[in-house]
Amino acid sequence: MSKLVARLGVPALTVLVLAACGSSTSSTTTTTTTAGSSSANAAIAAQVPAAIKSTGKLTVAADATYAPNEFIAPDGHTVIGMDADLMNALGVVMGLKVDIVNATFDTIIPGLAAGKYDIGASSFTDTKEREKTVDFVDYFTAGTSFYAKASSNPGVSTLENLCGKTVSVEKGTTEEEEATEQSGKCTKAGKKSVTVLVYPTQNGANLAISSGRAELGMADSPVAAYQVKQSSGTFKLYGTYGSAPYGLAIPKGSGMTTPVLAALKVLIANGTYMKILEKWGVQSGALATPAINGAKS
């Protein structure tokens, strides 16, 4: 996840960016400005479980190192981005205030299961494995991209090309899982393994590339594309593969999947959803028909 901070530039690459399912070490609670225009829908608000309706708010966790999907604003604490705007718009339709908490990516799903958060909105790829712990309302599609220094030419455009390479990833992401799995395939084929450098945040993974510890990185396609664009030629994309849904992660049995899905359909129908995606330049990932637990694998 990594988004539009106008001042980002090359030096900031090492301290603020990406994550195919992102993360951050702070846990400041903030809210963001909603793009588009919607109003409360009484029928949908009535579907919100009493336990949440009584508080009047949703506590939403996001790893704010994954621009343009979720990242920290220039004020140093507000979480902004596509996911933040979308959650605020959903909150309006459901008649709820939204508090967005900046949390390390790999702690969000456990936090949902423990009742610490109501929703996880952090570029989560909806997978069958994750669906064992939480439910998802799918709202976007993204692939995975390789990125590296423009001067490096790592020779990687597919997972199979990773053999013998050193790649940096964020902990708990699908990129970590896929790079590790590919390493096993490489050795089984008699090739060199993949050296997978795992960092607690996407910022750490980015720093590894900038400093030369890693030859390349892997991140969700909108995040990698944004990072390359912000680098002013320092970074370059070297290939994208796959396509999978992003899902808003919701604790099983909480009763929130139904109102969230209904609210999302309202935002798609009234144009607010597309306005949010266009604001952050990620409209190519628009999902025409949202669904609950639509993982492909």
Q: Are 249 and 271 in contact (CB under 8 A)?
A: no
> What dihedral do alpha carbons 15, 18, 24, 29 form, nearest 10°?
110
Q: Is the pLDDT of residue 37 over 90?
A: no
Residues 97 and 65 in one domain: yes
Least confident range from 22-26, 106-110, 115-119, 215-219: namely: 22-26
Confidence of residue 13 (pLDDT cuts 50, 70, 90): very low
Of the residues 208, 228, 243, the one at which a domain ends: 243
- Which two three-digit tokens encode residue 112? 């949902």
Confidence of residue 38 (pLDDT cuts 50, 70, 90): confident
Confidence of residue 2 (pLDDT cuts 50, 70, 90): very low
Residue 5 lies in a domain: no
Residues 6+ apart with CB under 8 A from 43: 262
Residues 277 and 136 in one domain: yes
Burial of 115 (0-12, 13-18, 19+ CB in 10 A): exposed
Residue 283 lies in a domain: yes
Residues 131 and 33 in one domain: yes
Burial of 132 (0-12, 13-18, 19+ CB in 10 A): exposed
Across 125-149, average pLDDT: 96
Tell me the CATH number at 189.
Answer: 3.40.190.10
pTM recorded for the entire structure: 0.82
Residue 253 lies in a domain: yes
pLDDT digits (tens, 9 = 90+) for 172-218: 999 999 999 999 999 999 999 999 999 998 888 888 998 999 999 99
Count of structural domains, the chain: 2
Across 91-102, average pLDDT: 98
Of the residues 221, 243, 265, the one at which a domain ends: 243
Residue span of the structural domain in which 265 resides? 11-142+244-292
